[in-house]
Amino acid sequence: MRLQLALALLAAGALLLLAQPAEGAGADSETPLYLKRDGLGNIFKLNAKEPQENRLGWWRCSEELNQQGSFFPLSKWEQGLGGQVELGDSYTFAIWVESTNVQEITLRATLYVVVNGTQHNLSVEDVSKQGTFPNLLTGNYTIEPVSELGLDHGDYRTVPAFSAMGIELETSITWAPDTENRTVYIKADSPDFNSQIVVRMRPVFLNPEVFFSNDRTDEPGEDSLYIKASVVDALGVIDDSGSGSVADLDLGSFSLEIEGVSGGGNFNDSVRVRDQHPFAKYIEGRWQYQQDSGISSGTYQITISVTDMRGNIWEESVSYDLTVDEFAIELEHEDGGGGTYDLQLPRGGKVEYRVKVWNRGNTADSFEIEVDDNSLPSGWEATMLTSDELDLPVDQYVYARVRIEAPDGAAGGSSATARLEVTSLNDGSVSERMDLRATVRTYGAVISGLDSRITIDPEALDIDGLYRFPVGVRNTGNDRDSYDVTAIIGRGDWTVRIEEGGQAVNIITVDRGKTKQLEIVLKPVNFENSMGDEVDFRFSAESVPPGDGSALFEAKLIVEIPIERVIDLTIAAVDLQVNGRPYAQLMPGDLQAGAPVQFQLVVKNLGGRGADPFSVKLYVAGRVEASYSVDMGLAGFGEALVLLEWSKPAAGLATLRITADSDLAVEDERNRADNSFSLSLDIAAAPSGNGDSSGDGDGFSIPGFGLAGALLSAAIVARRRW
């Protein structure tokens, strides 16, 4: 959990700021705590210091015979916390055991914290180890979970200072049959038998109040920032000498570092570590920031870090708003913009740049101004129009004026760049530059409002046979421009002209960034027999010299009647059914000589205009075999069901054709190519002994089709024509 932040305190020129966690070790860091033999009563010590000598401790487990399902208390081990601790999500343990004649042993481990005298359990888990006869649990071994155990933090994800953390062990033992010789001991506090718990936690924090003092002097280069912080280690292992130092931390690892500054900032060996109390150390140092390059007023992040004896690096970061004597320059365009200053000029013309020179330092300053014209092409010139030195108070500006001239022969779109450079006379390392780029005016055009396919409805022609449609010409150049506009069509007998406001034009003038709306006036003739044919159309706009902008648009012109006003009958084989079965599914032998063949199909009107009555005929070998009349005609976009019968088919392969309106009863149909289709039928010979094959007998037919055909045809739903 993040540190509980304190308020900033300002007093006597010094500043206390609040620390924020930096990237480093965290609450998921593994922190081992070792079981010690020292203690009082039944509570022994936990300690972060790994056993260095053999001070082996023994704890005898209960030797009751029948312990199944029962747990007997062993002992508790506790570690006092001299500072807050942020707990991770899990822990584990490894407990050394020495036993004889044990079939199974179970440890009940309770990890807990004691806060304000009250115990709060974080984890209660049973972990067992078994022997298999005849291999009993005899000798030394460890009991440990197969994986880390989760923690139930409750209200104690962060454990406050002056609390305690501990583990309580209870045992339940199943003995081997030899009950006369049975012993179990828990062993710890020895390099060979280092029973321990390993808790994921963060025990090291920076005291949230960090002391700063920005000591600014009259001596050049001697300004410095004094930093003093307190690092608290909750484990606070007291070394054996009793000196009160924090032995859990590597005292040589304390460091102060200014983020983003080369080498972490110049401290000139001023970083020191001093005792604060048994759980904390002071770290202090003086940052000689004027001895570092590029240091200016602003917010700096100071990282304070220390490494513990387990190799974990603990870091905290604190910000400080540092004020230093500094000189700064800012250059702006006249309109407030920054970066390259772009302006345009005509061929042989000139343009003036007005650049704001700002004093952005925290003290008055003097500046030197010059123009570098070394990169200008031959024939171009750059001239400084204002003084080359100036004085400015803080946050004030003056204009530096520069003129650039282009030669008469400069090409449109060509450019040249001069550089304005301003340098502080108090600090020569402070300098700003701005490129002044002059570009010769360019020309361009874009045509808008036209589609690549322009369809003309003959009824849309006016009384004079003219068709009108709009077109736009946009000026994409950087100045007002005039254009020569041209329209060309691919038929010599058609005429075309361009109008603006009802007047024919061939030259137009368009302001920069604007679009001029024009009208194309077209007179198509002799198109009755070429409906649907494409005619090429080209429209262009070209800048009048000396401009070089141009645009071209090509399209196709098509005269045709809209589908809503035409008739277009069609029939398709895909809709055909023969004797009630889709034509594509017919099998050899399905059709027999002498047996009537019934056809069912759909006639559609693809146009929006209704058709007069017409007939659909079945042809066999060029002979009309059957006919069906669509007596009510066919509405626009309508369809009709048609039934035809070939009454006496002969054996063999027959080619048939079905045609809609073969008598041309429907006038002005747009497309007759899809009014008919052909098909082939394989008529099998009639089986012998089946009687007359002339069709007078009981041949195959759709049930009810013969008599009901007339009734069905009368009931066909075909919308009336318009």
pLDDT digits (tens, 9 = 90+) for 381-436: 999 999 999 899 989 999 999 999 999 888 877 889 999 999 998 788 899 999 99
- Nearest residue to 208 via CA among 316, 135, 102, 59: 316
pTM (two decimals): 0.47
Query: In this structure, are residues 295 and 327 in contact, taking their beta carbons and an 8 Å threshold?
Result: no
Q: Half-sphere exposure (CA, 13 Å, Cβ side) for 483?
A: 32
Q: Characterise 254 by phi-psi region: left (phi > 0), alpha (psi -120 to 50), beta (else).
A: beta
CA–CA dist 141, 598 (Å, integer): 95
CA–CA dist 66, 172 (Å, integer): 9
- Give the pLDDT confidence score for residue 413 in this predicted structure: 78
- Give the pLDDT confidence score for residue 218 in this predicted structure: 61
- State the CB neighbour count (10 A cutoff) for residue 192: 10
Q: Characterise 122 by phi-psi region: left (phi > 0), alpha (psi -120 to 50), beta (else).
A: alpha
Residue range 465-516, pLDDT digits in tens: 899 999 999 998 878 889 999 999 998 899 999 999 999 999 999 998 899 9
Q: Half-sphere exposure (CA, 13 Å, Cβ side) for 610?
A: 13
- Give the pLDDT confidence score for residue 2 in this predicted structure: 28
Q: Half-sphere exposure (CA, 13 Å, Cβ side) for 476?
A: 14
- Give the pLDDT confidence score for residue 217 in this predicted structure: 76
List, for the chain, all residue ranges whose pLDDT scores fall below the cut of 50. 1-23, 237-245, 690-722
Non-local CB neighbours of 134 within 8 Å, separated by 6+ positions: none
